[in-house]
């Protein structure tokens, strides 16, 4: 009899594991660095080919109006892993990996999921103001390839595969954080790339066409151009001609394609170790890149190219493809969404939305207006120039705290390239006041001390 029970339990064990996996999905969060939302072939970009990202789009929801909390590395990543806006955490510029900066009262994503019974892993670029060795604070038990000066994207898929293999029978959260296409910064100033070698750019005539908005628009706040003069290493492009910008777009596209191949490798590991169908994949970037729009390289600016990011939620072989134009902030919304998908209680102080509710009910209205921020910085040195953007379905209002012209207003439905600043158009005075007053009220309600002299 005992022998029969043992045989029965042995036969039942795989079913019990399957039931456990089915009830608690794995979460794979893939983050690229400095990737603008339109730099994917599934977004209609014919100048590059991204089969890895396309696979995610073919098996889930692509959110077409997703934004970062702030278009700069540390502020954006801090928002993603804390669920709070940069003005709330105080991390509004790039910050060193140093102990004692992150308050213990502010839970990090890894810790939240670890407390919820998940195995946690993080591989790749870190750039957070917490030492990677402080596992008790960030909560990522397995953490690899994070050295800012020494890690490489090629190693990231291997470390991810190891984590997936070792945790395939347990619910897990894995962050795969890639550097590229951030190497466009090195390319722009003619330096050696950190990750992958690129061949020389072809003649401009063989490079992608420039976008319709590539020139500096009229009635733009002068302060955004003045701050470029602080660092020619950051902005070597201020005097570039059209041919140079075309070659820039070519190089940027190649870097996106390189990181896409690494993403394919991570997705391959999910299939190899039998967890593909029970893993929900979230794909995003910490911020975008100017991509030659408005003659801008780098980030920090609040234009669409730098602030709008890819955002997809997928389950390979399980979900059908669709797009969604709901406004998303990948900073404040990430932890509530991960918690919603994993069935883990989110911290009560978080104000972001759980996008998983939109997955099950596409008609459910969760947000109609979004506010994001910026603080211009020369790496870790703040320049005293800050701004906010209010985004609705059709309009975008941008305001900076300095300059003769502080405000911009764009009808994104008619002017997706943000060329025509309606803030100086008397016919749009009423709309301008509505957006301005919304920001004032939002700042008061959320404790944002942004002052724009309005």
419 and 341 co-located in one domain: no
Report how many domains make up the chain.
Answer: 2
What is the pTM for the complete model shown?
0.94
Closest C-alpha among 165, 161, 163, 57 to residue 110: 163
Residues contacting 226, CB < 8 A, separation 6+: none
Question: What confidence score (pLDDT) does residue 147 get?
Answer: 78
Whether the per-residue pLDDT at 1 is higher than 60: the answer is: no
Calculate what percentage of the chain has a pLDDT beyond 90: 89
Examine the fold and report which residue of 367, 384, 402 is the final residue of a domain before the chain moves on.
367
Residue 149 covered by a domain: yes
In a domain, 2, yes or no: no
3-state secondary structure (DSSP) of residue 174: strand
Q: What is the mean pLDDT of residues 257-271?
A: 97
Band of pLDDT at residue 24, cut at 50, 70 and 90: very high
Report the pLDDT value the prediction gives residue 13, as an integer from 0 to 100.
Answer: 44
- Cβ proximity of 83 and 347 under 8 Å: yes
Given this model, what pLDDT does residue 20 score?
38
> With contact defined as beta carbons under 8 Å apart, do 427 and 414 qualify?
no
Last residue of a domain, which of 338, 367, 396?
367
Query: Do 200 and 75 belong together in one domain?
Result: yes
Q: Which helix (H) or strand (E) holds 63?
A: strand 60-67
Angle at 397 between CA 396 and CA 401, to 5 degrees: 150
Note whether 269 and 384 are same-domain residues: no
DSSP 366-393: --S-EEEEEEEEETTEEEEEEEEEEE-S
CATH number at 379 reads: 3.30.1120.10
Pairing of strands 381-391, 395-400: antiparallel
- Per the CB < 8 A criterion, the answer to whether 246 and 204 are in contact is yes
pLDDT at 311 over 70: yes
pLDDT in tens, 73-88: 999 999 999 999 999 9
Continuous segment of H or E residues that includes residue 338: helix 334-342
What element of type H or E holds 30? strand 26-32
Pairwise CA distance, residues 247 & 422, whole Å: 32
* Residue ranges making up the domain that contains 439: 373-446
Q: How far apart are CA 333 and CA 180, in angstroms?
A: 23
């Amino acid at each position: 009899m005992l022998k029969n029970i043992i045989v029965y339990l042995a036969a039942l064990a795989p079913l019990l594991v399957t039931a456990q996996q089915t009830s608690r999905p794995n979460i794979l969060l893939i983050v690229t660095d400095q990737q603008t939302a339109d730099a994917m072939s599934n977004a209609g970009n014919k100048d590059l080919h991204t089969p890895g990202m396309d696979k995610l789009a073919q098996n889930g929801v692509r959110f077409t109006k997703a934004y970062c909390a702030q278009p700069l590395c540390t502020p954006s990543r801090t928002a993603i892993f804390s669920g709070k806006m940069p003005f709330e955490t105080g991390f509004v510029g790039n910050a060193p990996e140093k102990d004692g900066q992150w308050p213990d009262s502010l839970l990090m994503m890894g810790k939240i999921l670890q407390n919820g019974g998940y195995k946690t892993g993080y591989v790749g670029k870190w750039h957070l103001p917490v030492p990677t060795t402080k596992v008790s604070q960030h909560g990522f038990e397995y953490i690899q390839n994070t050295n800012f000066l020494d890690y490489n994207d090629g190693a990231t898929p291997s470390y991810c595969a190891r984590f997936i293999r070792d945790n395939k029978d347990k619910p897990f959260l894995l962050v795969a954080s890639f550097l590229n296409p951030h190497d466009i910064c090195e390319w722009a100033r003619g330096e050696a790339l950190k990750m992958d070698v690129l061949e020389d750019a072809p003649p401009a005539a063989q490079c992608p066409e420039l976008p319709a908005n590539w020139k500096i628009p009229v009635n733009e706040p002068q302060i955004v151009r003045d701050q470029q003069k602080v660092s020619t290493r950051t902005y070597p492009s201020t005097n570039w001609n059209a041919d140079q910008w075309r070659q820039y777009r070519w190089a940027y596209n190649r870097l996106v394609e390189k990181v896409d191949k690494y993403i394919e490798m991570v997705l391959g590991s999910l299939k190899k170790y039998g967890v593909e169908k029970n893993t929900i994949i979230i794909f995003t970037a910490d911020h975008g890149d100017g991509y030659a729009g408005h003659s801008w390289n780098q980030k920090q600016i609040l234009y669409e190219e730098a602030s709008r990011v890819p955002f997809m939620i997928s389950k390979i072989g399980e979900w059908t493809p669709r797009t969604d134009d709901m406004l998303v902030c990948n900073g404040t919304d990430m932890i509530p969404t991960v918690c919603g998908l994993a069935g883990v209680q989110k911290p009560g102080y978080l104000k972001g939305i759980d996008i998983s509710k939109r997955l099950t009910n596409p008609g459910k209205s969760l947000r109609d207006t979004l506010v994001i921020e910026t603080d211009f910085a020369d790496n870790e040195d703040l320049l005293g120039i800050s701004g906010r953007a209010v985004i609705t379905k059709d309009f975008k209002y941008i305001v900076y705290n300095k300059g003769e012209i502080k405000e911009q207003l764009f009808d994104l439905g008619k002017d997706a390239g943000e060329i025509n600043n309606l803030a100086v158009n008397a016919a749009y005075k009423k709309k301008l006041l509505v957006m301005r007053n919304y920001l004032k009220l939002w700042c008061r309600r959320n404790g944002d001390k942004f002052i724009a002299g309005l």
